[in-house]
Structure 1
Amino acid sequence: MTNAAQSAARVPAGVTFAARLSFENISHSFAGNGETLSDVSLTAEPGEVLCLLGPSGSGKTTLLRIAAGIEPQTSGRVLMNEREIAGPSVFLPPEKRSIGLVFQDFALFPHLTILENVRFGLTAMSRAEADREAEIALSRVGLQQYAQAYPHLLSGGEQQRVALARALAPRPTVLLMDEPFSGLDSRLKDSVRAETLAILRESRATAIVVTHDAEEAMRMGDRIALLRDGKLVQTGTAEELYNRPNSLFAAGFFSEINVFECEVADGRVATPVGSFATAGLADGAAAQVAVRLGGISAGENGSGMPGRIISRRFLGDAELFEIRVAGADQPVRARMKCGQVPAGRRDITLTIRESDVLVFERAGKNA
């Protein structure tokens, strides 16, 4: 069946009563391995898609497991609609939380049909009622025609949608998704991600999605929570985190950057690619200046900072350059639209878009 036919066949997702899920001063540690989470406070609002973003080991999946009740926190509380479901004196078991979970590997049972997989969690219903709800859930994801098939006959994208149907069948108030698209190839990922987001919008369930991919977080999330080493670094919309990152780490997670070390003088920072104004940093302060690769372009009529191209790589609609610039210890990297720099040219001048220049005070490894 084509994607268009599947979309036409898919029935609207049943609306759930979305809940507010809050993490309050959550810390977690494994014996002998130090803290995996440190004093994390975060709230997913009703009907919101909140993305937990960060590198491997930042605590994203642990936070998800704590929400699901699979892993107890060391300290802090988890609340649903202001009611404590996990804390010093309360621990609601996973089956009592009205929380759905989609695993990274889909976790489908190979010996069960697709319908039986989706029906698996509907234990409180009669067999006939469970079958009906499972069929409706499969219709929501456009896979009702595979009800009697087995998982190995489905593609990765189809298996992901079955896992989503199974999680949505009990109509949870919160849906947790742990890197649900990481096993899909890049061509399939965009379409499955868009279909999943449409289903989440229709169901109106609160969703928390774990990812290490900043673009995926920006595509899916109403808000993004960026974590590093078990700590919450910054929370906000994609626009807020991209345009106003609060640290060099946050800036580098959302775009490729060149970094220059310098000192503030007369309210400005001087770098090998230009001098830029800075606000809030005192003269003499040590600074780190981030310049996004996409903010560097070839100057016109010889204007700009001179440089020499030492490598260029064709990437389709863009080219990636390494350019030697006087005063820079490392080549300056730039990403420019194909055709902007004629083939064979070595000498070039660079202009910098100031909105792509970010200045941070240098403050150790967490800067």
Structure 2
Amino acid sequence: MPTEKIRANRRTAGVTFAARLEFENIWHSFAPASDTLQGVSLAAEAGEVLCLLGPSGSGKTTLLRIAAGIEPQSAGRVLLNEREIAGPSVFLPPEKRSIGLVFQDFALFPHMTILDNVRFGLTALSGEEGRKEAMNALSRVGLEAYASSYPHVLSGGEQQRVALARALAPRPAVLLMDEPFSGLDSRLKDSVRAETLAILRESRATAIVVTHDAEEAMRMGDRIALLKDGRLIQTGRGEDLYLRPADLFVAGFFSELNVFEGKVESGAVDTPLGKIGARELADGAQATVAVRTTGFNFSETEGDIEARVISRRYLGVVELLELAVAGADFPVRARVRCGVLSSRARDIWLSLRDSDVLLFESARKSA
């Protein structure tokens, strides 16, 4: 169902009392020799959408399960509006936390109607009150017409909205979503994601969304927390992480890169793409230069760097090029808008856009 039609068919989401959820020095381990989370300290502010981003195995889902009360941490505390809900002195069960959870596979009960699925968590209400609240929740996501149907008749996007309605029905202070759009096809994903974000904004619940997709995190999150191997690497707005990445890992998570190693001499690093200014690093330091594949200007007549086209792949709006550049041990990858280069272009010229060139001091290798 198109997003515009969903919005026309649903009620405004009911407002919740948003809360601040804080992780304080969280450690977790499934095995003595392997820490899943290593001292993670992070807070989702009241009413904000915080995206937990990272590769598989980085600890994102484990942190979500700890917040929900499904998994206990090894050390550290979880606080809701400064009140400890999990730690050395207390461990509240999931049903006492005012935290809703939307699972990756939606976890709908196949033998129950859509209405009963949504009503499942409203145990504190009478039968009639629960039914009324469940219908209101279904109306908010535009699916009240399916109240008497069963999950198997719904599309993936509709099932996702039922799961969202079920999580929002009890008006939780915090809503946790574990890769909620991963099972949707690309055509449907954008519209369902936009509608979900609109519902979260209307409900004003604090939300933590787990994803491994950097673009999705930037589309949804007020802030992003990037994890790697159980550690929090960088937190900030999407533009902060993209424009000012803390290290090469962060830069590579948000952009496809060409990476060159070199030594700083006279305030610059010599690379096959020319000298890159490095005034912030001491002469003699080992440096890593990363150039985004989108960071090139192209010409068939003049420029700073001569290159030869090895291959080009049409991707619709852009073409992906592999280029041979003198001094480079591997092909340089670049993206160019379709039509900029003629179909017969082979020997071309490049120049760099400074904003797409990133410099890092190389990690020291132990002897």
Shared fold, TM over 0.5:
yes
CA distance in 1: counterparts of 2:207 and 2:270, whole angstroms: 44
Query: Does the residue aligned with 2:294 lie in a helix, a strand or coil?
Result: helix
Partner of 1:291: 291
Matches within 5 A, 1:1-367: 3-32=3-32, 34-299=34-299, 301-363=301-363
| Alpha-carbon distance change, 237 to 109 in structure 1, aligned in 2, over 3 angstroms | same
Query: Does the residue aligned with 1:108 lie in a helix, a strand or coil?
Result: coil
The offset of 1:161, in angstroms, is: 0.3
TM-score normalised by length of structure 1? 0.98
CA distance in 1: counterparts of 2:5 and 2:251, whole angstroms: 41
Deviation by residue 1:190-210 (Cα, 9 ceiling, x = unmatched): 000000000000000000000
TM-score normalised by length of structure 2? 0.98
CA distance in 1: counterparts of 2:307 and 2:255, whole angstroms: 23
1:54–1:60 contact (8 Å) kept in structure 2 = yes
1:259–1:291 contact (8 Å) kept in structure 2 = yes
| Alpha-carbon distance change, 198 to 111 in structure 1, aligned in 2, over 3 angstroms | same
Deviation by residue 1:292-325 (Cα, 9 ceiling, x = unmatched): 0001121363122001110000000000000000
| Alpha-carbon distance change, 271 to 158 in structure 1, aligned in 2, over 3 angstroms | same
Deviation by residue 1:318-344 (Cα, 9 ceiling, x = unmatched): 000000000101000000100111102
1:24–1:41 contact (8 Å) kept in structure 2 = yes
CA distance in 2: counterparts of 1:4 and 1:250, whole angstroms: 35
The offset of 1:266, in angstroms, is: 1.2
CA distance in 2: counterparts of 1:364 and 1:185, whole angstroms: 43
2:59–2:230 contact (8 Å) kept in structure 1 = yes
| Alpha-carbon distance change, 275 to 76 in structure 1, aligned in 2, over 3 angstroms | same
CA distance in 2: counterparts of 1:44 and 1:51, whole angstroms: 9
CA distance in 2: counterparts of 1:113 and 1:186, whole angstroms: 28
1:51–1:224 contact (8 Å) kept in structure 2 = yes
The offset of 1:6, in angstroms, is: 2.5
The aligned length equals 365
The one-letter amino acid paired with 2:349 is: T
| Alpha-carbon distance change, 3 to 42 in structure 1, aligned in 2, over 3 angstroms | closer
CA distance in 2: counterparts of 1:33 and 1:106, whole angstroms: 33
CA distance in 2: counterparts of 1:33 and 1:211, whole angstroms: 26
The offset of 1:268, in angstroms, is: 1.1
Identical columns (%): 73
CA distance in 2: counterparts of 1:223 and 1:188, whole angstroms: 24
Query: Does the residue aligned with 1:343 lie in a helix, a strand or coil?
Result: coil
The offset of 1:5, in angstroms, is: 3.2
The offset of 1:33, in angstroms, is: 5.1
CA distance in 2: counterparts of 1:125 and 1:22, whole angstroms: 29
| Alpha-carbon distance change, 274 to 4 in structure 1, aligned in 2, over 3 angstroms | same
The one-letter amino acid paired with 2:133 is: E
The one-letter amino acid paired with 2:77 is: R
The offset of 1:280, in angstroms, is: 2.3
Query: Does the residue aligned with 1:157 lie in a helix, a strand or coil?
Result: helix
Query: Does the residue aligned with 2:283 lie in a helix, a strand or coil?
Result: coil
Query: Does the residue aligned with 1:112 lie in a helix, a strand or coil?
Result: coil
Deviation by residue 1:240-287 (Cα, 9 ceiling, x = unmatched): 000000100000000101000111111111110121212421111111
Q: Structure 2: state its 5+ residue gaps.
A: none
The one-letter amino acid paired with 1:234 is: Q
1:69–1:93 contact (8 Å) kept in structure 2 = yes
Deviation by residue 1:212-248 (Cα, 9 ceiling, x = unmatched): 0000000000000000000000000001000000100
CA distance in 2: counterparts of 1:172 and 1:43, whole angstroms: 17
CA distance in 2: counterparts of 1:279 and 1:155, whole angstroms: 55
| Alpha-carbon distance change, 136 to 362 in structure 1, aligned in 2, over 3 angstroms | same
CA distance in 2: counterparts of 1:2 and 1:322, whole angstroms: 38
CA distance in 1: counterparts of 2:288 and 2:313, whole angstroms: 27
The one-letter amino acid paired with 1:232 is: L
The offset of 1:58, in angstroms, is: 0.2
1:138–1:162 contact (8 Å) kept in structure 2 = yes
Deviation by residue 1:77-104 (Cα, 9 ceiling, x = unmatched): 0000000000011101100000000000
2:300–2:341 contact (8 Å) kept in structure 1 = no
Root-mean-square deviation (CA, aligned residues, Å) is 1.1
Of 344-353 and 114-123, deviating more is 344-353
